[in-house]
C-alpha cells in the first residue's frame, strides 16, 4: 500500500485518494463492512413467510437472508463451505433447504451444513475420512437484529446492539416513519459511476439540495427558507434532515440569479400538480425526511413516498443503490396511487434524481455540461417550431386515404382485412414514436398518447412479483408534458441521445377500436463524450386506440433488467 498522509489541514481537507485508492477500498471492506458496524439487509416485509429468503450483500460479501420455519430471521455468507460456490443463486424465493449448485451440499435457513453428498461414499467405498469436519468450514454467520421492520446484520461480535448503535438522536426518526406493518411496492437498482462514499456524502449534503435539484425550487415547491432541521448522532456516523410542509413563495433564488430560480410568469408551473399532493399521514407536517445510517443505509420520506435505499460498494468507482419503495399494509387505493405517483420524484427517473457526472473529474465535465445545455436549449427552441410544423405535416399525411380506409375497414368485421390494416398502423405508430425520441423531438412525445393516456416504465422483476412500482409513471397529457418541461428546464443531466431498435409488433388482441400489442425494444444511449452503451432492453406492452391517427391509450415499458445506469433522463 502506498504511504498516505492526511493533509495537515485536518478534517477540512478530504484528499481525493480516499475515493480513488484500491487499497483503501480493501481496507474499508475489512474494517468497515466486516468490522464493528451494522449493515442494512432488507425489510422484514420482504421475507413475508417462513422459509422465504433473499440474497444481498454486506460490502463485497454475498449474503443470504432467510426466515426459518419458526419465523426467525438469519443471515449467512452466500459461499459454500466446500469450494465457495454461491449457495443461493436467485434474488429471492422460498425453500425448505438450500442446495449448493456445484456438489449439492445442503444448508438450513441459518446456514448450518445439513448434508454432504456421498459423505460416506457409496456401498462402503470412497467418501470423506471419518475425522473430516466440513461443518467447521460452514459459511460465516451474521448477527441479525431488526428495528421497526428494518433488518440489519453484522459480522462483529463486539459492536453494540443495533438500537444503541443507531442511538437516541436518530432512532425516534426511524420510528416516526415505520409506524405500521409495511407493504412492499417494488424495487430497482441504480448504478452510480462513483465511489460509495460520495453517495453517502451527498445524502448528508443539505447545501446542494435546492441548488442542484432544480425541480423543487424552479416549480416553487421547496426552498431553502423552509422550516427544517438536522439531527446527527453523537458519534457523527448517522444523520437525519427534515423539512416542513409550508410552501415558500419567497424570491431568494430569483434575487440571487440562481440556476434553480423560477420565473414570475406561469412558465414554470406543473400542469398536473396533483403528482405532489401529500397527505400528512405521519401527523407532523414534515414533507421530507432523509435519514442515513453508517455505512450504507438511507431511509426517506419524500411527501408520501417511502423507501429504503441500500448503498453497495462495487469497486472504487462503482456503487449500486438498491431502492425498495413501500407503503403500509392498510393503505387504501388512493394512498397507493399517491405513493406510486410520488415514486416519480426519486430513483433513476426521479424528478429530483441525482445527475450522473458528480464524480471527481475536475471541471471539464461541468464545462461540457454547460455548453451542451446551451445547445440543448437552442435545439429545444428550434425543435418547438420544427416539431409543430412536423406534426401538422404528419397529420396532413395521415388524413390521406390510407387513414380513412383503416377506420372503414375496422368497422367491418372482416378479420383478414382488419389484421392487414392494423399491423402497419401499429408499427407506424411505434416507428414515429421511436424517431421522435431519437431525434430529440421530446415535445412531440405526449402527443403519441390519448388525452388520458398512461405511460409507465417498470422492470420485469416487479411485474413478475406483481408489484406496481413504476420507475416513471404519468397519466394524462398534462403529466406527460410536465415530464418534458422538467427535462428541459429543471433537470440537470449529462447530454445524451437514444437510438431505439424496435421489433415488429405482435398484435395480440383486437376489440373494436383498440389493439393490444407487444414489441421488443433495445435502446442504445450515446453520451456527449461518445460513450455508447446498450442502455435498456425490454418489451413495450401497448393498448392502442385505432383512430385515424392511432395513439397509445397505455404504454407499459417493461425493462428486462432491474438495473439502470444512473439516470433515465429521456423516456424510453
Ligand atoms: S462448492 Fe458447494 S458443494 Fe461443492
Ligand atoms: Fe440530492
- In the chain, domain spans: 39-146, 167-345, 413-565
Instruction: Report CA(93)–ligand 1 centroid distance (Å).
Output: 20
| pLDDT by residue, tens only, the chain of 572 residues | 567 899 999 989 999 999 999 999 999 999 999 999 999 999 999 999 999 999 999 999 999 999 999 999 999 999 999 999 999 999 999 999 999 999 999 999 999 999 988 888 888 888 888 888 888 888 999 999 999 999 999 999 999 999 999 999 999 999 999 999 999 999 999 999 999 999 999 999 888 877 777 787 777 666 556 788 999 999 999 999 999 877 655 666 666 666 656 655 456 678 998 888 899 999 999 999 999 999 999 999 999 999 999 999 999 999 999 999 999 999 999 999 999 999 999 999 998 875 555 554 433 444 444 555 555 555 555 444 333 333 333 333 333 333 333 433 444 433 444 667 899 999 999 999 999 999 999 999 999 999 999 999 999 999 999 999 999 999 999 999 999 999 988 877 889 999 999 999 999 988 889 999 999 999 999 999 999 999 999 999 999 999 889 999 999 999 999 999 999 999 99
- Taking each helix axis as running N to C, give the angle between helix 401-411 and helix 415-438, from 0 to 180 degrees, rounded to the nearest 10: 140
Contact 497, 440 (CB under 8 A): yes
Q: Look at residue 51 in the predicted model and tell me its pLDDT.
A: 98
Ligand 1 pocket test target in 100, 114, 119 with most atoms within 8 Å of CB: 100
Which ligand has its closest atom nearest to the C-alpha of 290? 2
Q: Look at residue 404 in the predicted model and tell me its pLDDT.
A: 37
Ligand 1 pocket test target in 82, 137, 138 with most atoms within 8 Å of CB: 82
Which ligand has its closest atom nearest to the C-alpha of 199? 2
Taking the CA of residue 104 as reference, the ligand 1 atom at the shortest distance is 3
Cα–Cα distances in Å, from 166 out to 31, 297, 529?
A: 18, 11, 43
Atom 3 of ligand 1, residue of closest alpha carbon: 103
- In terms of Cβ atoms closer than 10 Å to its own Cβ (0-12, 13-18, 19+), residue 249 is exposed
Contact 330, 287 (CB under 8 A): no
- Taking the CA atoms of residue 194, residue 197, residue 200 and residue 206 in that order, the dihedral angle to the nearest 10 degrees is -90
Give counts: helices (H), strands (E), the chain: 14, 25
Which neighbouring-strand residues pair with 22? none
- C-alpha R_g of the chain: 27
Helix (H, G, I), strand (E, B) or coil at 11: helix
Domain 167-345 CATH (choose: 3.90.180.10, 1.20.210.10, 1.10.340.30, 3.90.380.10)? 3.90.380.10
Where do the DSSP E strands lie in 60-178? 61-67, 73-77, 92-94, 98-99, 106-107, 113-115, 143-147, 150-154
Cα–Cα distances in Å, from 572 out to 33, 275, 325, 331, 551?
A: 37, 21, 22, 30, 16
Cα–Cα distances in Å, from 134 out to 103, 128, 137, 271?
A: 13, 9, 6, 65
Helix (H, G, I), strand (E, B) or coil at 510: strand
Q: Look at residue 98 in the predicted model and tell me its pLDDT.
A: 97
From the CB of 269, is ligand 1 less than 6 Å away?
no
Q: Look at residue 378 in the predicted model and tell me its pLDDT.
A: 56
Instruction: Report CA(61)–ligand 1 centroid distance (Å).
Output: 17
Contact 297, 309 (CB under 8 A): yes
Atom 1 of ligand 1, residue of closest alpha carbon: 83
- The percent helix, strand, coil of the chain (3-state, each to 5) is 30, 30, 40
Nearest to 452 by CA among 552, 523, 381, 548: 552
**Phi and psi angles of residue 267, each rounded to the nearest 5 degrees, phi first:** -55, -40
How many alpha carbons lie under 13 Å from residue 72 in its C-beta half-sphere? Answer: 9
From the CB of 103, is ligand 1 less than 6 Å away?
yes
**Phi and psi angles of residue 539, each rounded to the nearest 5 degrees, phi first:** -130, 140
Instruction: Report CA(413)–ligand 2 centroid distance (Å).
Output: 56
The string of DSSP codes covering 393-404 is: HHHHHHTSHHHH
Which ligand has its closest atom nearest to the C-alpha of 345? 2
- In terms of Cβ atoms closer than 10 Å to its own Cβ (0-12, 13-18, 19+), residue 252 is middle
Q: Look at residue 401 in the predicted model and tell me its pLDDT.
A: 38
The string of DSSP codes covering 322-346 is: EEEEEEETT--HHHHHHHHHHGGGS
Taking the CA of residue 103 as reference, the ligand 1 atom at the shortest distance is 3
CATH class assigned to 413-565: alpha beta
Instruction: Report CA(15)–ligand 1 centroid distance (Å).
Output: 43
Taking the CA of residue 85 as reference, the ligand 1 atom at the shortest distance is 1
In terms of DSSP bridges, do strands 563-565 and 182-192 run parallel, antiparallel, or are they unpaired?
Answer: parallel
- Taking each helix axis as running N to C, give the angle between helix 364-398 and helix 477-489, from 0 to 180 degrees, rounded to the nearest 10: 150
Contact 60, 350 (CB under 8 A): no
Taking the CA of residue 100 as reference, the ligand 1 atom at the shortest distance is 2
Q: Look at residue 407 in the predicted model and tell me its pLDDT.
A: 38
Please state, as a whole number, how many other Cβ atoms lie within 10 Å of the Cβ of residue 383. Answer: 19
Cα–Cα distances in Å, from 207 out to 201, 213, 263, 396?
A: 11, 11, 22, 51
Where do the DSSP E strands lie in 15-72? 39-43, 52-58, 61-67
Question: For residues 239 and 232, what is the distance between their CA atoms, to the nearest angstrom?
Answer: 4
Q: Look at residue 363 in the predicted model and tell me its pLDDT.
A: 38
Taking the CA of residue 81 as reference, the ligand 1 atom at the shortest distance is 2
Question: For residues 544 and 516, what is the distance between their CA atoms, to the nearest angstrom?
Answer: 6
Contact 187, 324 (CB under 8 A): yes
Please state, as a whole number, how many other Cβ atoms lie within 10 Å of the Cβ of residue 554. Answer: 19
Q: Look at residue 136 in the predicted model and tell me its pLDDT.
A: 84
Q: Determine the straight-line distance between the first and last CA of the chain, rounded to whole angstroms.
A: 45
From the CB of 102, is ligand 1 less than 6 Å away?
yes
Question: For residues 92 and 76, what is the distance between their CA atoms, to the nearest angstrom?
Answer: 15
Which neighbouring-strand residues pair with 113? 107
Cis peptide before 295 (omega within 30 of 0): yes
Contact 32, 25 (CB under 8 A): no
Question: For residues 417 and 329, what is the distance between their CA atoms, to the nearest angstrom?
Answer: 49
Q: Look at residue 118 in the predicted model and tell me its pLDDT.
A: 82
Domain 39-146 is classified in which CATH homologous superfamily? Rieske [2Fe-2S] iron-sulphur domain (2.102.10.10)
Amino acid at each position: 500500500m502506498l504511504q498516505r498522509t492526511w493533509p495537515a489541514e485536518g478534517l477540512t481537507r478530504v484528499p481525493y485518494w480516499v475515493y480513488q485508492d484500491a487499497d483503501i477500498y480493501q481496507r474499508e471492506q475489512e474494517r468497515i463492512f466486516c468490522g464493528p458496524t451494522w449493515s442494512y439487509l432488507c425489510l422484514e416485509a420482504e421475507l413475508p413467510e417462513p422459509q422465504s429468503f433473499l440474497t444481498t450483500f454486506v460490502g463485497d460479501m454475498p449474503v443470504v437472508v432467510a426466515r426459518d420455519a419458526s419465523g426467525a430471521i438469519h443471515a449467512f455468507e452466500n459461499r459454500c463451505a466446500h469450494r465457495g460456490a454461491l449457495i443461493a443463486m436467485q434474488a429471492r424465493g422460498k425453500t425448505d433447504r438450500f442446495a449448493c449448485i456445484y456438489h449439492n451440499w445442503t444448508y438450513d435457513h441459518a446456514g448450518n451444513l445439513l448434508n454432504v453428498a456421498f459423505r460416506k461414499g457409496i456401498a462402503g467405498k470412497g467418501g470423506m475420512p471419518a475425522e473430516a469436519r466440513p461443518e467447521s468450514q460452514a459459511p460465516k454467520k451474521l448477527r441479525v437484529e431488526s428495528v421497526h421492520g428494518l433488518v440489519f446484520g453484522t459480522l462483529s461480535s463486539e459492536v453494540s446492539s443495533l438500537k444503541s448503535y443507531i442511538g437516541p438522536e436518530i432512532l425516534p426518526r426511524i420510528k416516526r416513519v415505520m409506524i405500521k406493518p409495511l407493504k412492499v411496492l417494488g424495487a430497482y437498482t441504480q448504478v452510480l459511476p462513483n465511489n460509495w462514499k460520495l453517495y453517502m456524502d451527498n445524502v448528508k449534503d443539505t447545501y446542494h439540495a435546492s441548488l442542484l435539484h432544480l425541480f423543487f425550487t424552479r416549480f416553487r415547491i421547496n426552498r431553502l427558507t423552509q422550516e427544517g432541521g438536522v439531527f446527527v448522532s453523537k458519534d457523527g456516523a448517522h444523520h437525519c434532515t427534515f423539512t416542513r410542509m409550508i410552501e415558500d413563495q419567497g424570491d431568494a433564488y430569483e434575487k440571487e440569479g440562481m440556476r434553480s430560480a423560477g420565473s414570475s410568469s406561469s412558465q414554470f408551473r406543473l400542469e398536473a400538480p396533483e403528482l405532489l399532493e401529500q397527505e400528512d399521514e405521519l401527523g407532523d407536517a414534515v414533507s421530507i425526511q432523509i435519514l442515513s445510517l453508517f455505512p450504507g443505509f438511507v431511509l426517506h420520506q419524500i411527501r408520501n413516498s417511502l423507501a429504503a435505499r441500500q448503498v453497495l460498494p462495487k469497486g472504487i468507482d462503482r456503487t449500486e443503490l438498491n431502492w425498495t419503495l413501500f407503503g403500509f399494509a392498510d393503505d387504501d387505493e388512493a394512498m397507493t396511487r399517491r405513493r406510486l405517483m410520488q415514486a416519480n420524484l426519486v430513483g433513476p427517473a426521479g424528478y429530483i434524481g441525482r445527475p450522473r457526472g458528480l464524480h471527481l473529474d475536475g471541471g471539464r465535465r461541468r464545462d461540457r455540461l454547460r455548453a451542451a445545455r446551451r445547445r440543448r436549449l437552442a435545439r429545444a427552441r428550434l425543435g418547438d417550431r420544427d416539431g409543430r410544423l412536423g406534426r401538422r405535416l404528419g397529420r396532413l399525411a395521415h388524413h390521406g386515404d390510407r387513414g380513412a380506409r383503416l377506420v372503414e375497414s375496422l368497422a367491418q368485421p372482416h378479420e383478414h382485412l382488419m389484421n392487414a390494416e392494423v399491423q402497419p398502423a401499429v408499427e407506424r405508430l411505434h416507428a414515429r414514436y421511436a424517431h421522435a425520441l431519437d431525434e430529440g423531438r421530446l415535445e412531440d412525445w405526449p402527443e403519441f398518447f390519448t388525452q388520458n393516456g398512461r405511460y409507465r416504465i417498470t422492470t420485469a422483476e416487479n411485474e413478475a412479483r406483481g408489484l406496481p412500482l413504476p420507475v416513471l409513471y404519468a397519466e394524462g397529457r398534462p403529466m406527460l408534458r410536465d415530464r418534458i418541461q422538467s427535462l428541459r428546464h429543471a433537470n440537470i443531466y449529462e447530454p445524451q441521445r437514444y437510438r431505439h431498435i424496435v421489433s415488429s409488433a405482435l398484435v395480440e388482441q383486437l376489440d373494436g377500436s383498440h389493439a393490444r400489442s407487444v414489441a421488443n425494444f433495445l435502446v442504445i444511449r450515446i453520451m456527449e463524450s461518445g460513450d455508447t452503451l446498450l442502455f435498456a432492453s425490454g418489451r413495450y406492452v401497448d393498448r392502442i386506440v385505432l383512430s385515424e391517427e392511432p395513439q397509445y391509450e397505455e404504454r407499459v415499458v417493461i425493462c428486462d433488467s432491474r438495473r439502470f445506469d444512473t439516470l433515465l433522463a429521456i423516456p424510453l
